[in-house]
C-alpha cells in the first residue's frame, strides 16, 4: 500500500507541475531538433555514428516538441462529461426478466456461463492441489511430533509417552 501511495503522490506532483515540465521539454527538444536538421545531409553521412546521432537527435527533438505541445494543450475531451449523469447498467433482475421472456437464453449469456464454468473448474483444481499440500504438511508435522516422544490422543490432543 505504501508504494501505491508514493506513486499517487508523484503523479499528483507531476500533474501540478505539468506546464513547467512541458515548457522544459520543449526547451530541451529545440537544440536536439536543431542539431538533427543542421547536420542532415541528403546524400547520406559517411560517418556511421554521426548518422545515428543526427537521426536520433532529430527524432527526439520532434517527439519532444510534440509531447511538450500536447502537455500544454488542456485535455478537455472526456469520455463522459462530468456534468451529465452516467447511465446505469440494467440491474440483474431486469436481465433475468428479459431472459425469462425468451425461450432460449441469448448466446452471449451462454458464453458467459461457459467461461464462468471454466473458471470454477480451474479454481476447484487449485483448491484440491492446496488441500493435498495441507494434508501432506499435516502428516509430516504429526510424524515430527511423534518422533519427539508424544502420543496422539483420540480427542485431538497430545500427551507424553
CA distances, 88 to each of 59, 83, 85, 96, 116 (Å) = 45, 15, 9, 16, 24
Neighbouring C-beta atoms of residue 56, cutoff 10 Å: 13
Q: Quick one: pLDDT at residue 51?
A: 85
Q: Are 57 and 36 in contact (CB under 8 A)?
A: yes
Residue 85 to residues 58, 76, 94: CA-CA distances in angstroms?
46, 17, 21
Q: What is the pLDDT of residue 49?
A: 87
Domain extent listing, the chain: 2-72, 123-154
Give residue 79's pLDDT.
47
Q: Which three cell numbers stand for residue 7?
A: 506513486
**pLDDT, position 27:** 93
| Series of mean pLDDT values for 10-residue runs along the chain (161 residues) | 74 75 90 88 80 90 90 62 56 58 65 88 90 89 87 81 70
Strands 158-160, 150-152: pairing is: antiparallel
Rounded distance between C-alpha atoms, residue 116 and residue 109, angstroms: 10
**Residue 78: its pLDDT value, please?**
45
CB 32 within 8 A of CB 56: no
Amino acid at each position: 500500500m505504501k508504494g501505491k501511495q508514493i506513486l499517487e503522490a508523484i503523479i499528483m506532483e507531476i500533474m501540478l507541475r505539468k506546464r513547467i515540465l512541458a515548457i522544459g521539454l520543449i526547451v530541451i527538444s529545440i537544440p536536439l531538433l536543431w542539431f538533427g536538421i543542421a547536420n542532415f545531409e541528403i546524400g547520406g553521412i559517411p560517418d556511421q555514428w554521426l548518422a545515428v546521432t543526427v537521426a536520433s537527435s532529430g527524432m527526439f527533438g520532434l517527439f519532444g516538441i510534440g509531447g511538450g505541445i500536447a502537455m500544454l494543450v488542456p485535455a478537455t475531451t472526456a469520455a463522459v462529461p462530468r456534468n451529465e449523469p452516467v447511465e446505469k447498467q440494467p440491474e440483474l433482475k431486469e436481465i433475468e426478466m428479459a431472459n425469462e421472456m425468451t425461450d432460449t437464453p441469448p448466446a452471449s449469456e451462454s458464453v458467459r456461463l461457459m467461461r464462468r464454468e471454466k473458471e470454477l473448474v480451474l479454481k476447484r483444481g487449485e483448491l484440491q492441489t492446496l488441500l493435498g499440500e495441507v494434508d501432506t504438511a499435516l502428516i509430516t508435522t504429526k510424524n515430527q511430533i511423534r518422533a519427539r516422544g508424544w502420543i496422539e490422543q483420540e480427542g485431538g490432543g497430545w500427551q507424553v509417552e
